[in-house]
Amino acid sequence: MTLRRFTILLYLVFLVMPLYWLVNLSFKTTFEITTTMTILPQSPTLRNYAFIFTNPQWFGGLLFSIGYVVLNTIISISVALPAAYAFSRYRFLGDKHLFFWLLSNRMAPAAIFALPYFNLYSAVGLFDTMWAVALAHCIFNVPLAVWILEGFMSGVPREIDETAFLDGYSLPSFFVRVFVPLIASGIGVAAFFCFMFSWVELLLARTLTNNRAIPAIMTQAISATGIDWGLLAAAGVLTSIPGALVIWFVRNHIARGFALGRV
Amino acid sequence: MQKPIDNRAWFLVAPVFCLVAFNAMLPLMTVVNYSVQDTFGNNQFFWNGVQWYAELLNPGSEFGGRFYAALGRSFAFSGVILAIEVPLGLMVALSMPKRGAKLAICLILMALPLLLPWNVVGIIWQLYARDNIGLFGWTVNAVGIPFNYTNSAIASWVVVVLMDVWHWTSLIALLCYAGLRSIPDAYYQAAKIDGASRWLVFLRIEFPKLQRVLTIGILLRFMDSFMIYTEPFVVTGGGPGNYTTFLSIDLVKIALGQFDLGKAGAMSIVYTLITLSLCWIFYTAITTRDNQEIAQ
C-alpha cells in the first residue's frame, strides 16, 4: 500500500515540477531569471502578463483559435455520427477497407501535408481563415470521432433500433430522438478528444494562417524581441489555461470517458 | 448476431468520405506529383521519373544516408518512449487511488499535460531543462553531472525522451485505469478466497483485461511518436547537429526550409507507406482480437 502511494506521489511530483517552474518563471523579470536561481520569485512582478494583455493581437488570436477548434469539433461530430452508425449497424461494400483508410489518415504525419495544404487551401480561397484550419484538422479528428463513436454505438443493443422501426420511426427521426440521447456520453467523449487534438495541433494551424492561432502569436511576438524568458513563461501559462478549464469541466467524466467505447 | 448487409449505408458514410478525401487525396496527389518532378524555381517543373526515389532508397547517396539516419532516429525514439511509457503507465494506473478527492486530483493533474498545445510543451521543457535557467538542468549540473542539451547528444535525447514521457504517459495510465475499473469486484474476491498472490492477481485477472486498452494505447503512442514534430523542434530544433532530427523534422526542413519539393515529395510518400504498413499490423492485431472475443 505504501509502495503504491509512493509511486503515485513520485509520478505526480514529476508531472507538476515543470509546470511549477513555468509559473515561477512567469512572475520573475528576465534579469532575475538569468542572474539568480531561486525557488520562489524574489520580487514577484506582473510585468510579463501586463505586456501580453496590452498587446492587441493577443485577444484576436485567442478568439481565432477557439473559433477553429469549436468549428472543427462541430464538423467532425456531425459528419462522424451517421458514418459511425453505418459502421456499427451494417455491412456494406468495402466497409473494412474504408474503416482502415479512415484510420490511416489519423496516422498520417501532419508534416507531410503542410505544404500541399498550403497550396490546396490557397487555391480554394480559404487561406488564413478559421475554415481552413477547421477543415484541415478534420483529417485526424473525423477518423478518431468515427472510431470512438462506433465503439459507443456498438454497445447499444440492435434490438432498440428494430423496436423503434416497428413503432414507425423513420431512420432520421429515430436517430435524432432515440439514438443520439442514448449515446450522449459517447458524443461528449468524442467531442472532448476532437477539441483536445485540434487545440494542441500547431503545425497545420500555423501553415494555413498568417500566424493567427494563439500559440503561434505568443511565441512569435516574443521571438521578435529577442529571447525574453519571463515573457515566454507567461505566454506558456496563459495558453495552458483553456486546456485546464476544459479538464475542470469534465473532471468527473475523465475516467468514465476513457472507460466507455473504444478509447 | 451478424450485421445485415445494406449498401445504402454508403449514403451515411458519404459525408465523411468526401471530407476526408478532400483533405487526404488531393494533397497526396500533389505530393506524388512533386515527387516525380524537379524544379529550378520560377514554378517550372521537369519530369524526373523515379530519380528521387532511387536516390532516397540508396544509403550510399547523401540524401539516402540522411533519410536512413532520420528514419533510424525516429524508430529509436518510438522504441525508447514505448519501452518507458507502457510499463510506467501501467504501474501508475495500478497505483492510483480508488475514489474520493485524491482520485479527482490525480485525474486532473494527469490529464493536464495532454491538453497543452504542443509548442507550449516544448516551451515548458525548454525553460525547465536549460542548464542556466531551468530547475532540472541546473540541478543535474549542481549534482556534478555536466548537462547541456544544446551541445550534448545524450543530454538532448534525455530531454526529448523525458518530455515525451511527461507529456504522454498519462494517456497510457488513463487508458489502463479505465480498463482496470471495468473488472468486476467479484473477480478480486474470488482471487482472495483462492489465496492468490498480488502478482498472480495481476497476471491472471488484470493483465488479460488490459490487453485490449494496452494495444490501443501502444497504437496511439506509436503513431504520434513516429510523427512527432513540434515538441522536439521547439526544444532542440533537431540539434545539436542532427542528433534529434526525426523524420518529420527532416521532412519539414527539406520541404519548407530548402524548398526541395521533389525530394520532400519522395520522402513523404515513403514515410506514408512505412506508417501505413506498420498501422496495418497494429490494426489487424486489434480487429483479430475483437473477432476472437465475439467468437467466444
State residue A20's pLDDT score: 93
Residues A236-250 have a mean pLDDT of 84
Q: Chain B, 42-101: which have a CB under 8 Å from a chain A CB?
A: 88, 91-92, 94-97
ipTM over 0.90: no
B19–A135 C-beta distance less than 8 A:
yes
Q: Are residue A219 and residue A99 in the same domain, yes or no? A: yes
B120–A247 C-beta distance less than 8 A:
no
Residue A22 domain-assigned (yes or no):
yes
Q: Are residue A197 and residue A70 in the same domain, yes or no? A: yes
Pick from A202-216, B3-17, B209-223: least confident: A202-216
Q: Are residue A86 and residue A12 in the same domain, yes or no? A: no
B30 touching A (Cβ < 8 Å): yes
Can you give B99-141 as a three-state secondary structure string?
CHHHHHHHHHHHHHHHHCCHHHHHHHHHHHHCCCCCHHHHHHH
pLDDT, averaged across chain B = 86
Q: Which residues of A touch B126 (CB under 8 A)?
A: 232
Q: Which residues of A touch B110 (CB under 8 A)?
A: 15
**Given CA atoms B114, B118, B122, B127 in this order, what sign does their dihedral have?**
negative
B114–A196 C-beta distance less than 8 A:
yes
B27 touching A (Cβ < 8 Å): yes
Most confident of A12-21, B24-33, B112-121, B280-289: A12-21
Q: Are residue A112 and residue A18 in the same domain, yes or no? A: no
Whether the pLDDT of residue B76 is over 90: the answer is yes
CATH of the domain at A123: 1.10.3720.10
A139–B92 C-beta distance less than 8 A:
no
Distance (Å, rounded) from C-alpha B275 to C-alpha B118? Answer: 21
Q: Which residues of A touch B289 (CB under 8 A)?
A: none
CATH of the domain at B232: 1.10.3720.10
Number of domains in chain A: 2
A32, A107, A118: best to mutate for the B interface, most B CBs within 10 A: A107
Residues B248-255 have a mean pLDDT of 86
Query: In Å, how far is B265's CA from the nearest CA of chain A?
Result: 8
Residue A50 domain-assigned (yes or no):
no
Whether the pLDDT of residue A259 is over 60: the answer is no
Using one digit for the tens of pLDDT, what is the confidence trace for A28-83? 887 788 777 778 888 888 888 888 788 777 777 878 888 999 999 999 999 999 99
Of residues A83, A144, A150, the one with CA closest to residue B17: A83
Closest residue, chain B, to A240 (C-alpha): B116
User: In sequence order, what are the residues at sequence separation of 6 or more whose Cβ sits closer than 8 angstroms to the Cβ of residue A218?
Assistant: A52, A58, A61, A235, A236, A238, A239
Using one digit for the tens of pLDDT, what is the confidence trace for A107-143? 777 777 777 888 888 888 888 888 999 999 999 899 9
Q: Which residue has the higher pLDDT, A60 or B294?
A: A60
B251–A247 C-beta distance less than 8 A:
no
Whether the pLDDT of residue B64 is over 90: the answer is no
A263–B23 C-beta distance less than 8 A:
no
Could you tell me the pTM of the whole model? Answer: 0.86
Residues A210-227 have a mean pLDDT of 64
State residue A70's pLDDT score: 94
Enclosing domain of residue A33: 1-45
Number of domains in chain B: 1
Q: Which residues of A touch B230 (CB under 8 A)?
A: 202-203
